[in-house]
Amino acid sequence: MKKTEEMNEYLDWYGSLLTTRQQQICDYYFKEDLSLAEIAENCEITRAAVLDAIHRSQKTLLEYEEKLKLIEKYHARVKIYGKIKKLNIEEVNQYLKEIEDLD
């Protein structure tokens, strides 16, 4: 289950950099939890082609993270943000609230 969650996070960050077909197959596999046979039928390709697309997509997503480290940096920022928030300093909390309101 952890691998699926991890891949979904990679897809959220880098999925738009995959081809449309790779995105579709990965969404079916990781987000909708369809079997290889179901994906093959939906996409009108073989199960082997589905598996190949999944493996290539995973490799590509991992390479993007290895080079860009966006997910790693995001989690580091979230951790630091939590530590700052625990300080419970009124002025700092006001700034944190402003940051939260930007989202």
Do residues 61 and 82 share a domain?
A: no
Model pLDDT, residue 2: 86
Do residues 34 and 73 share a domain?
A: no
Q: Which domain holds residue 2?
A: 1-68
Please state the domain count of the chain: 2
Do residues 14 and 34 share a domain?
A: yes
Do residues 48 and 84 share a domain?
A: no
Specify the pTM: 0.84
Do residues 44 and 76 share a domain?
A: no
In tens, the pLDDT along 48-85 reads 999 999 999 999 999 999 999 999 999 999 999 999 99
Tokens encoding 22: 């790779």
**CA 72 to each of CA 6, 12, 42, 69, 96: distance values in angstroms, whole numbers, following the listed order:** 12, 14, 34, 5, 21
- Cα atoms in the Cβ-side hemisphere of radius 13 Å centred on 95: 8
Q: Looking up tokens 């928030």, which residue turns up? A: 85
In tens, the pLDDT along 27-49 reads 999 999 999 999 999 999 999 99
In tens, the pLDDT along 10-19 reads 999 999 999 9
Do residues 45 and 21 share a domain?
A: yes
CATH of the domain at 29: 1.10.10.10
**Nearest by Cα to 17 from 53, 56, 64, 52:** 64
Do residues 64 and 75 share a domain?
A: no
Do residues 76 and 61 share a domain?
A: no
Do residues 80 and 61 share a domain?
A: no
Do residues 13 and 54 share a domain?
A: yes
